[in-house]
Structure 1
Amino acid sequence: PSFEETKDYFQKLYLGEKEEGGLNEKETLLPSLDLLKSLSNNKNKFKIGLVTGRPRSEALHFLRRFDIVDLFDALVCDEDTSLHKPDPAPVLECLKRLGGGFEKEETIMLGDTVDDMVAATAAGVQGVGVLLP
Structure 2
Amino acid sequence: MLKLNKVHHIAIIAADYQRSKRFYCDILGFSLLEEHYRAERDSWKGDLALNGDYLIELFSFPRVPRRVSRPEAAGLRHLAFSVDNVDHAVEALVSKGVVCEPVRIDPLTGKPFTFFADPDDLPLELYEA
Q: TM-score when scaled to structure 1?
A: 0.30
TM-score by length of 2: 0.31
Higher strand share: 2
Q: Which has the higher contact order (CA 8 A, sep 6+)?
A: 2
Please state which structure has a larger fraction of its residues in helix: 1
